[in-house]
Amino acid sequence: MTEIWDGVRAAFWLVVQLDADLIDITLRSLHVSLTALVIACVIALPAGTWLAVRRFRFRRAAIATLNAFMGLPPVVVGLIVYLLLSRNGPFGVLGLLFTPTAMIIAQVIIITPLIMSITHQAMRELWAEYHDLLISLNTTRTQRIRTLLWDGRRALLTAALAGFGRAIGEVGAIIIVGGNIDQVTRVLTTAIALETSKGDFALALGLGFVLIGLSLMVNYLTHSLSQTERSGRW
């Protein structure tokens, strides 16, 4: 019990003193996870909507596979990305292993199926509603996808936030491909793993509280910017 209190105190002091290392690590966490989120959204939002609009032969199998990939184990993704990027691997010449780029690649792979799947679920409902209208207006497929994306933007926000949540709290993949190098690839989650291994639970817990606070802040910020949950709006 005392350790939890020590953790709360450590977190409090870390934040109050604006500890330089902490700010550095936090910004790196945001850098990696937000970049991964943007890339994943660019891929997953149109792809998920396309999957809802388009009828094709292996659609059912594609959706089932996609849903299964939502639970892709990060450690395995990390290991595969590691082997691909290692100097011995096919992409070794790029020299990307143990860089933030490698961490971003791993996180994109982890969160894209998740965002795509949630997008698909939401867009399917919306498509059922808009189907007759959009067909009768004789719209092209691109126009339909764009309409759905715009009108379903609140649901897509949820999809993106779910992806962000998975990325920012993820440790298994990025500790493998990033190597947890101080000042280069150390982020909040890998720093927590490191402090725990040193037996410094207070600092680890402190970092943990900072991570949770950060997640909350990003969510509040997105909601206030997109003006959801205001009176008179849905």
Partner 1 sequence: MIRHLILLINLIWATAATADTLRMAVTTSFHNSGLADVLLPAIQKDTGLDVHLLVVGTGQALRLGRAGDVDAVLVHARSAEDTFVSEGYGTHRREIMYNDFVLIGPQNDPAQIATQNTVTGAMTALAATRAPFVSRGDDSGTHKKEIALWVDAGLDPDAFGPWYRSVGAGMGASLNTAAGLNAYILSDRASWLNFANKSGLALLFSGDPTLFNQYAFLPVNSARHPHVRTEAVQRLEQWLTGPKAKSLINGFSIDGQNLFVFNAQNP
Give the nearer residue to partner 1 in terms of CB position, either 140 or 197: 197
Restricting to residues 156-175, name those near partner 1 by CB under 8 A: none
Could you say which of 128, 182, 213, 216 contacts partner 1 (CB under 8 A)? 182
CB of 81 to partner 1, least distance (A): 13
Q: Taking CB under 8 A as the criterion, which residues in 120-159 touch partner 1?
A: none
Which of 117, 119, 180, 189: binder of partner 1 (CB under 8 A)?
Answer: 180
**180 with 190: CB under 8 angstroms?**
yes
Residue 200 CB, shortest distance to partner 1, in Å, is 5
CB of 84 to partner 1, least distance (A): 12
Q: Which stretch binds partner 1 (CB under 8 A): 104-112, 139-147, 162-170, 199-207?
A: 199-207
Which CB sits closer to partner 1, 31 or 223? 31
Q: Is 201 in the site for partner 1 (CB under 8 A)?
A: yes
Q: Are the beta carbons of 96 and 102 closer than 8 angstroms?
A: yes
Q: Report DSSP letters for 140-199, one per residue.
A: -HHHHHHHHHHHTHHHHHHHHHHHHHHHHT--HHHHHHHTT-TTTT--HHHHHHHHHHTT
d(CA 189, CA 208): 8
Nearest-approach distance from CB 110 to partner 1, in angstroms:
20
Dist. CA 163–CA 107, nearest whole Å: 9
Q: Which of residues 42-101 bind partner 1 (CB under 8 A)?
A: 86-88, 92, 95, 97-98
183-207: burial string, b at 16+ Cβ within 10 Å, e else: eebbbbbbbbbbbeeeeebbbbbbb
Q: Report residue 43 as tokens.
A: 């891929």
Residues in the interface with partner 1 (CB under 8 A) total 25
Q: Which of 158, 196, 219, 228 binds partner 1 (CB under 8 A)?
A: 196
Q: Which residues contact 119 (CB under 8 A, 6 or more apart)?
A: 44, 45, 47, 48, 49, 52, 155, 156, 159
Residue 77: how many CA atoms within 13 Å on its side-chain side? 26
CB 88 to partner 1: min, Å = 5
Q: Which of 67, 179, 223, 228 binds partner 1 (CB under 8 A)?
A: 179
- Residues numbered 14 to 33 that lie near partner 1 (CB under 8 A) are 27, 30-31
Q: Please give the Cα distance from 39 to 93 (Å, whole number).
A: 23
Residues within the interface to partner 1 (CB under 8 A): 27, 30-31, 34-35, 86-88, 92, 95, 97-98, 179-184, 194, 196-201
